[in-house]
Structure 1
Amino acid sequence: MSSWKIAVLGLGIIGSRAAANLTKASIGEVRTWNRTPKGLPGECATVEEAAEDANLVLLFLKDAKATREVAERIFAMPLPGEERIIVNHATVDLATTQWLASECAARGLSFLDCPFTGSREAAAGAGLVYYAGGPANLVDRVEPVLLKTAKSVLRCGEAGSATVMKLVTNLISACTVQALAESMATATRHGIAPEQLIDAVSRNACGSVLAAMKLPTMASGDFDTHFSLSNMLKDSRYVLELAEQAGIETPAIRTVSKRMQELCDQGLADKDYSALAAPYLQS
């Protein structure tokens, strides 16, 4: 590209921080849009205004429904004078990723399947990790932009492979946090202080970066949102679809998905998914 004209569509916890880092990097013009206006710098009133002459469109939308709706609006727009690249950072189901790839190909648009791992602090510090699915030469071209919001890019294969990678790793995270919640509840009811459990886990083979992040806040009942329970519930449903398509029984994530739905119904949807521990904190 002679110069980047970037549209960031979706200004939630991650998209807003990614847009800020791209603007700070001064790699080209950055315009943004959000369904509910945020009043952020460079924010446009419509998708069409934000993406009008963009040669790189980055989707940071909530789910498959929102992604398809916004993509349809982009597909209806005339192309800019040069190639347009669509990069989907939203975590969606595999069918939606395949639909995006097919629709882009039919319209002469380039497409990159590129979900991420990393939550609020990682996004603020340009420390996300992107999973990239698409042609190697396209990843090569877009990677310098991606590295303005991330610390690394993991190449997974063709479009769709990155979506699968994101979903199966979120399966591990959801089941792990449920296990941590059950462990802490059982330990504390038997007189073990949360600090003792946190120390024990850190010295155990089950210790992890995730456990170190979540156990202290779960112990204190701090469910400030880094990655929402509703988003993890959404991803659990997508991964259950993958398992069903593969003919695999996955009782752990099926059970945790049911639990997350129950807690969302109780008003915890917008809390961090570590709110899986919330029922155990009630007297």
Structure 2
Amino acid sequence: MSTSQESIGFVGVGLMGHGMAKNIVENGYALSVIGHRNREPVEDLVKRGATEAASLKDLGAKSSIVFICAPGSPQVEAIVRELKTGLKPGSIIVDCSTSDPTSTAKLSEQLAEADIAMADAPLGGTPVQAEEGKLSAMIGADDAVFERIRPVVEAWAANIVHIGGVGDGHRMKLLNNFLSLGYGAIYSEALALASKVGLSPTKFDSVIRGSRMDCGFYQTFMGYIIDGNREAHKFTLSNAFKDLRYLESMADAAGMVNPVGNAVKNLFAAAHAAGGDGPEDYVPMLPEYVGRLSGTEVKPVKPVK
């Protein structure tokens, strides 16, 4: 099947998925999507030319390549079970979630028995970059599958790396998130300690911003504390906690000690347990929870918007 004949299915048109799907359909691909609690992104995509499938089985039957953006491996596994009942031999499932690599490998083996290929293509970037088609993708797939999905991925990603075989994309994504969430944990503890000793977030930021310690993650992370912008870095504390548990599982399976990873995970676990488990509790709010653990207040400098 030539790339121009591919029919695309997309499951999970939320914060990231809507922009990805929008770029797929606007690049001329036949696109099927499935309903969601939030009807707005689905209806927008239908207006742009997508077709709404009645079920996951129906979506699978209409698609030669299906992209999935889901919260984690349990949801991906459930989606794949239903998709498999409709997919034809020769189809490909691409998991763009941040998933457990062990689960990814098992799904790949199960799908191979039905002559369905699996690839993992976790994302780097923000919902804004998804809308602009400027995400990053780290792809785990065999060479033939990678070459087949690459033109479609190019519709929504500006930076594509074929990192290795199935599961390697998810392994690399967990390492990437370990670094970013590790930064978040350090920033949060530093801000809480600064507050404890009488240094404001503004003073803290005036030293770090523009220094060698500055980076893109720091700037979006601080968008909440400095500017009161809830939308600056829309990655939930719950998803962060989940990813760090997957990292721990990967380290355990590899026989690797990961004391820093566990420390970072435990900080996010504490925030999650203290009430930071909602759909609008984002990673930049972590300093508030860390501050409360030590009886100090870390709050946005400007009114929250």
Same fold by TM (over 0.5)? Answer: yes
- Equivalent residue of 2:97, what SS? coil
Matches within 5 A, 1:1-283: 1=2, 2-26=4-28, 28-36=29-37, 38-39=39-40, 40=42, 41=46, 42-77=51-86, 79=88, 83-224=90-231, 226-269=234-277, 270=279, 271-279=281-289, 280=291, 281=297
Residue range with higher mean Cα deviation, 2-11 or 89-98: 2-11
CA contact (8 A) 2:192 2:298 kept: no
Q: Give % identity.
A: 20
The CA distance in 2 between the partners of 1:61 and 1:4, in whole Å, is 22
1:109-151 per-residue CA deviation (whole Å, 9 max, x = no partner) reads 1221211111222212111100011112321221111011111
* CA displacement at 1:226 relative to structure 2: 1.4
The CA distance in 2 between the partners of 1:96 and 1:45, in whole Å, is 27
CA contact (8 A) 2:32 2:62 kept: no
* CA displacement at 1:84 relative to structure 2: 1.1
Letter in 2 for 1:17: G
Residue ranges of structure 1 left out of the alignment (5+ in a row): none
Residue range with higher mean Cα deviation, 52-61 or 211-220: 211-220
* CA displacement at 1:264 relative to structure 2: 2.1
- 2:302 aligned residue: none
Residue range with higher mean Cα deviation, 64-73 or 269-278: 269-278
The CA distance in 2 between the partners of 1:207 and 1:100, in whole Å, is 40
- Equivalent residue of 1:207, what SS? coil
1:23-64 per-residue CA deviation (whole Å, 9 max, x = no partner) reads 2222x2111124535242233332122222201111111111
The CA distance in 1 between the partners of 2:287 and 2:131, in whole Å, is 26
The CA distance in 2 between the partners of 1:276 and 1:100, in whole Å, is 34
Residue ranges of structure 2 left out of the alignment (5+ in a row): 292-296, 300-305
* CA displacement at 1:77 relative to structure 2: 2.1
Letter in 2 for 1:36: R
The CA distance in 2 between the partners of 1:221 and 1:264, in whole Å, is 21
CA RMSD in angstroms, aligned pairs only: 2.1
The CA distance in 1 between the partners of 2:217 and 2:227, in whole Å, is 16
The number of aligned residues is: 280
Letter in 1 for 2:34: W
CA contact (8 A) 2:235 2:282 kept: yes
The CA distance in 2 between the partners of 1:136 and 1:218, in whole Å, is 44
The CA distance in 2 between the partners of 1:140 and 1:183, in whole Å, is 45
* CA displacement at 1:66 relative to structure 2: 0.7
The CA distance in 2 between the partners of 1:206 and 1:111, in whole Å, is 39
CA contact (8 A) 2:119 2:145 kept: yes
The CA distance in 2 between the partners of 1:78 and 1:155, in whole Å, is 25
1:72-114 per-residue CA deviation (whole Å, 9 max, x = no partner) reads 112222517xx31111111111111101211221111122121
The CA distance in 2 between the partners of 1:262 and 1:45, in whole Å, is 40
